[in-house]
Structure 1
Amino acid sequence: MNAAARLASGTRGATLRLVLVLVGLAALWAAVFALNEVAWDVALGDWLGLDLGRRAEGALHFLLYDTTKILLLLVGMIFLIGLLRTTLRPERVRAFLEGKPLALSLAMAAVLGALTPFCSCSSIPIFIGFVAAGVPLGVTFAFLIASPLVNEVAVVMLADMFGWQVTGAYVAAGLGLAVGAGWVFSRMNLERWVEDFVFAAPVATLGADGHRPVLAERVAAAWEETRDIVGRVWKWVILGVAVGAAVHGWVPAEFFATYAGPGNPLAVVVATLAGIPLYSNAAGVIPIAEALWVKGMATGTVMAFMMGTVALSIPEFILLKRVLKGPLLGLFFGTVAAGIMIVGFLINAVF
């Protein structure tokens, strides 16, 4: 065997070993992600004997579980998208989207968001990856809005509690809000209000000189990008989830009965704004929404409360503040909040 053949054989062997390592790490990541909640249940409930039904212990469980989940998503999604970007150049992503009508691109992003059952904070790692990959901001925002609002768990629970008519209205409103807000953002030049580090990823220059990088180079670049982004935002993840844990599950029912009841013409506004601090996912807030509905809260007001709780939150604001500059952050929250209120008023007018 000549030198060239030995070199090629050694390169193939190294590539195979690297592939096996990546597969093993992916399996480990999936296992840790799947067992995350159970592990904290066992550690806190069984080993330490804490009553997770109590508010303080439940908040601690939420903090540890949600922080671990978001950091796992942040590392896994940024690395995966970074690895894909070393193969699929941002220019190709943009070219693919440019060849599609804007409405179709927005609808595709909203549907993808609906198929990913994440809370508002868990969607942010994918949002960052999409922005870094060159996906237009309007399209990425459509994903970010739809992901926490609509998912299969929420649909099933809503149908069971409120019936299919209300469920259909909620799903249509959630997807419509995502597409509508994405269209509004697509009309603006917003890239200047995204932090520079999101665009200045190491993989952006990989192979820029015409060199076709091998797998080891792609993995190294993706890992460097992951370390850079995670290193910038991990503190904000912990801070955001800590704020969410402090208010998680705390719903002042009497407040809603008094100020967001059927007698208040601005009940939708109150419910939307009051829902924002109550960080939760759709599955967690639906039973609360049903209780408020049974107490006489109007259907649209209940839907606005749900949407404000799952699509906008203080933890999400804290995380996005590290990625988006002030004007864009305010525009995003203001547009989504206004859209939720409009949806609430419309549903109240129909049901």
Structure 2
Amino acid sequence: MVDIFYPLQWIADKLTYEILGIASDTRLASSVNFVIYDVMKIFVLLAVMIFVVSYIRTYITPERTRQVLGSKKGIRYYFLASLIGTVTPFCSCSSVPIFIGFVEAGVPLGVTFAFLITSPLVNEAAVAALWATLGLKATVIYIISGVILGVLGGYLIGLLKLEKYVEDFVYKMKVGKQSVEDQKLIMKERAEYAFESVKEIVGRVWLYVIIGVAIGGIFHGYAPEGILEKYAGKDNLLAVPVAVLIGVPLYSNIMAMIPIVESLIGKGLPVGTALAFLMSVTAVSLPEMIILRKVLKKELIVIFVSIVALSIIFTGYLFNVLL
């Protein structure tokens, strides 16, 4: 199969071994080459995927989403909400107004959570970085897992009838409606919006990418071979839950974590354990829970975190068996 990133590897080799003059058989060369290649590859995929997804997003507004999902029941709507979440990467600070808007519009609580679980978990920036670092197979697995986690978590919350644990004021609020007619943009305007999204998102995450890749490069070149496989390998039955327990309270930009996880996998960390760690950091981060506490009672927060954490642990074990 043709390696579409071969030109980037050629550039990385040229810079590392010829321009910088680092001997190819040294740990320093391994680290530097890793950093140069990964930074270029991540930024290329970031630009392409952010542009494509941002263009698609011009057709999927919060108002249109509420119209599609409002007062709808059935498992297919959990899937639909989760799929919409993959192309609408609202940050955690947007969780409260989105939650209020969905509940006020009559979207069932479980369907709303299916959206909220998947939305921060699967986004174009994370997918691009995963593809660039872990490959297409792991990326597809991550996306499918994110969608399934959203469906499963939302369905269980809906099944438990937990509406009483939503703060009363949420049901009484009226969120302003955005006219769908205002979203009728021409192709050029959509492309301009997508290009601006590329500049905004890359401008926001570039430093995290470089820091993450740099740390990953250190692990790649200097970490002892097999040390993680020994202490956190498939034979360690507690490796996955420990990784999730570490990830849940951790607040870190996922763009910085992905290159580090890539390097750790290269040193022996099982893919399932690594993806479980990434999911726990992204799906149930402490800052998002603090923000959601404004509209959810603590009982629902605990139930939500428990369901998602257990689902991620199961997913990690499953992938460690399959991969």
**Other-structure match for 1:307:** 279
The equivalent residue for 1:144 is 116
**1:190-242 deviation digits (Å, cap 9, x = unpaired):** 111000111111469xxxxxxxxxx9xxxxxxxxxxxxxxxxxxxxxxxxxxx
**What is the CA–CA distance in structure 2 between the aligned matches of 1:323 and 1:131, rounded to whole Å?**
11
* 1:199-278 pair list within 5 angstroms: 199-202=171-174, 257=228, 260-278=232-250
Alignment of 1:87-236 (within 5 A): 94-95=70-71, 97-98=72-73, 102-202=74-174
CA distance in 1, matches of 2:292, 2:115: 14
Higher RCO (CA < 8 A, seq sep 6+): 2
Native 8 Å contact 2:167 2:296 kept in 1:
yes
Alpha-carbon displacement from aligned partner over 1:68-113 (angstroms, at most 9, x marks no partner): xxxxxxxxxxxx97xx69xx9x999644x24xxx222111111111
Structure-1 separation of matches of 2:89 and 2:256: 12
CA 180–164 in structure 1, closer or farther in 2 if over 3 Å, else same: same
Aligned residues: 220
Q: Deviations over 1:150-199 (max 9, x none)?
A: 12222222122112221111111110111111111121211110001111
Greater CA radius of gyration, 1 or 2?
A: 1
Change (3 A) 1:151 1:103: same
Question: Deviations for 1:321-344, whole angstroms, at most 9, x for unmatched residues?
Answer: 221112211110000000000000
- Write the letter of the residue equivalent to 1:319: I
Q: Which residue of 2 aligns with 1:317?
A: 289
Letter in 2 for 1:127: F
Partner of 1:218: none
Tell me whether 1:344 sits opposite 2:316 in the alignment. Answer: yes
Residue type at the aligned position of 1:280 = S
Q: What secondary structure, in the 3-state scheme, does the structure 2 residue paired with 1:307 have?
A: helix
SS at match of 2:98: helix
Aligned-pair RMSD on alpha carbons? 3.3
TM-score for both structures, normalised by structure 2:
0.60
Q: Which secondary structure state, in structure 1, belongs to the residue aligned with residue 128 of structure 2?
A: helix
Contact 1:118 1:281 in 2 (8 A): no
Question: Contact 1:120 / 1:312 at 8 angstroms: preserved in 2?
Answer: no
Q: Take 2:96 and 2:145, find their aligned partners in 1: how far apart are those partners? A: 21
Moved more, 146-155 or 274-283: 274-283
Q: How many angstroms apart in 1 are the aligned matches of 2:244 and 2:96?
A: 21
Q: 1:280 to 1:124 in 2, by over 3 A?
A: farther
CA distance in 1, matches of 2:172, 2:238: 44
Residue 286 of structure 1, CA deviation: 1.1
Superposed, 1:11-50 pairs within 5 Å as: none
Cα separation, partners in 2 of 1:274 and 1:287, compared to 1, 3 Å: same
Q: Provide the secondary structure at the position in 2 that maps to 1:153.
A: helix
Alignment of 1:291-302 (within 5 A): 291-302=263-274
Unaligned runs of 5+ in 1: 1-79, 205-214, 216-247
Amino acid at match of 1:187: L
Mark the runs of 5 or more structure 2 residues left unpaired by the alignment.
1-60, 180-210
Equivalent pair of 2:234/2:320 in contact (CA under 8 Å): no
Identity %: 46
Contact 2:96–2:295 (8 Å) recurs in 1 = no
Change (3 A) 1:329 1:260: same
From the superposition, tell whether residues 128 and 289 of structure 1 become closer, same or farther in structure 2 (CA, over 3 Å). farther
